[in-house]
Amino acid sequence: MSPGLTYLVVRCHSMMAELLSPGELRSLAEAESLRELMNRLGETPYVEALRGVEWKATALEGAYHRVFIERVRRVVELSLGRMAPFLGDYYYMRMELLNLRRVMRGLYAGISPQRIGEELLPLPPYRGPDPRALLEAGDLEGAIKGLGGTIYQPPPEALRLYEKLEAFWPLEQALINTYLDRVYDSMEALRGDERAVASRVVGVALDVENLLTAVKRRGDYRAGRLPPPEALWPHTYRVGLEALRDILDARRVGDAIGMLPQPYRAIFEPLLVGDVAGVRANLNRHLYGMMWRERAKNDYGFNVVLAYLLFSEMEKEDLIRITWGVMEGLKAEDILRYLVVASQPQDKD
């Protein structure tokens, strides 16, 4: 193991100790008021990040994102040549994509640029232009022009579909496909064993999102408004185009779900009772458990680095859910249904 990787792994181990345990997150979810939640958060490493932040769900969400972005930055800066592009693309580009989607969606809907600006994650430009510069274009067509010459420039097919269907989703799908192309490209630079772990994490999440898209697009498919599946899903992992077509064609989605291999059948079980959010919760729990096991297999390599970032991201998402849930007065068991880290068994404390 190179000295650089040793240092990175040791740092990741020590940073992992800062992460909140399942028990701590469960305790936060059980707070009976926002004041109680903030008092409990005051005893965690989030105390500095939350100082002076308005006690509004969106403002607190921004603070959690800032902590996570800082953690990603620290790891990417320390990462070796082959790992940094993959980790940067997988995390930074995903957040950049979120910002671009919010900008374009907001401009499409005629929301004021100031309002859109308030929703953006505090991320410097990574592979694309500054999203705030795109806001100055004032409308979607201007923003599309602003993406010209960058990696996010929509392909002609996406623009044609956008104009033909007068719908925004072809442009969004083009951005997602650009992101996936980039992630798979940078994954190639990883070593074989590292690539195997990365492709499992990326692949399972990709399959689940592809399946959710197929469930959602059944109406468009029947109305003949979908592009060919190969264009819609250029990347798949274990759930191929055949299975996705089965979802589109199925008379009852439940029957097609029942034919999926594991772990997808288990992940999609909540969909059978209409709980789509439960599908994502199951996915995230599956990824968390998978990375826990991968880390246990190899505690001195890339697995630790990816595990730290994945666990950090899950913690951030759990905190966002807990904060909103406590503010809305939801019962702890209703919040816990969708939590990832907090729902892990005690031995992961």
- What residues line the site for another protein (CB under 8 A)? 57-58, 61-62, 98, 102, 105-106, 108-111, 115-116, 119, 166-169, 172, 212-213, 215-216, 274-278, 280-281, 317, 320-321, 324-325, 328, 330, 334-335, 337-338
Name the residue nearer to another protein (CB basis): 229 or 301: 229
Q: How far is the CB of 228 from another protein (least distance, A)?
A: 19
Name the residue nearer to another protein (CB basis): 9 or 72: 72
Cis peptide before 263 (omega within 30 of 0): yes
The end-to-end CA distance of the chain, in Å, is 29
The answer to whether 237 and 180 are in contact (CB under 8 A) is no
Q: How far is the CB of 317 from another protein (least distance, A)?
A: 7
Q: How far is the CB of 63 from another protein (least distance, A)?
A: 12
Name the residue nearer to another protein (CB basis): 309 or 335: 335
Write the DSSP symbol of residue 153.
P
The answer to whether 205 and 91 are in contact (CB under 8 A) is no
Name the residue nearer to another protein (CB basis): 16 or 212: 212
Q: How far is the CB of 81 from another protein (least distance, A)?
A: 34
Write the DSSP symbol of residue 154.
P
CA-closest candidate to residue 228, choices 153, 183, 170: 170
Name the residue nearer to another protein (CB basis): 124 or 274: 274
Q: Across the chain, which distance is largest between two alpha carbons, in Å? A: 58
CA-closest candidate to residue 27, choices 255, 318, 249, 310: 318
Q: How far is the CB of 232 from another protein (least distance, A)?
A: 13
For residue 310, count CB atoms less than 10 angstroms from its CB and return exposed for 0-12, middle for 13-18, buried for 19 or more: buried
Q: How far is the CB of 328 from another protein (least distance, A)?
A: 7
Name the residue nearer to another protein (CB basis): 229 or 278: 278
Name the residue nearer to another protein (CB basis): 61 or 89: 61
Q: Rounded to an integer, what distance in angstroms lies between the CA atom of residue 190 and that of residue 201? A: 14
Q: How far is the CB of 279 from another protein (least distance, A)?
A: 9
Q: Rounded to an integer, what distance in angstroms lies between the CA atom of residue 298 and that of residue 302? A: 8
